Amino acid sequence: MTGTDVADSTIARPLIQRPQRADARRNFDALLAAARDAFAEDGAGASLEEIARRAGVGIGTLYRNFPTRDALVEAVYVEEVEAVVRAADDAAALEPWEAVQAWLRRFLLYVGTKKALLEGLNKDSPSC
């Protein structure tokens, strides 16, 4: 079983699926990239209008792809987790020590940008 198989079986797939048409896929990917950057800079409360502007699309396109803020936060989070899994698969071709170092570098990048996503994902969770 590869890291990807494990991820596919354990990570819930988002309700939002990447569009099939090339232009729609570009808009979807641009929205995810813009959202990732905006959430990293401004937290989970980043302006959706600003995210659409950064992606070079209208707010209607954002809402057509991500009907709610939660759907956008979830899609960004799932994409980031999948990137960490891909990094593990890529590191498998390296020597053991280099593989560990490469994966840990990628994981640290992942962890360093997740405060905003954590806020967005846990906003309804009771405080401890």
Compute the residue count for the chain: 128
Contact criterion met (CB below 8 Å) for 65 and 27: yes
CATH number of 3-10+18-121: 1.10.357.10
pLDDT band at 112 (very low <50, low <70, confident <90, very high): low
Q: What's the mean pLDDT when you consider all of the chain?
A: 81
Pick the closest to residue 112 from 122, 104, 101 (CA basis): 104
Q: How many angstroms separate the CA atoms of 63 and 58, rounded?
A: 9
Give the per-residue pLDDT at 81: 86
- Apex 55 CA angle, 114 and 70, nearest 5: 45
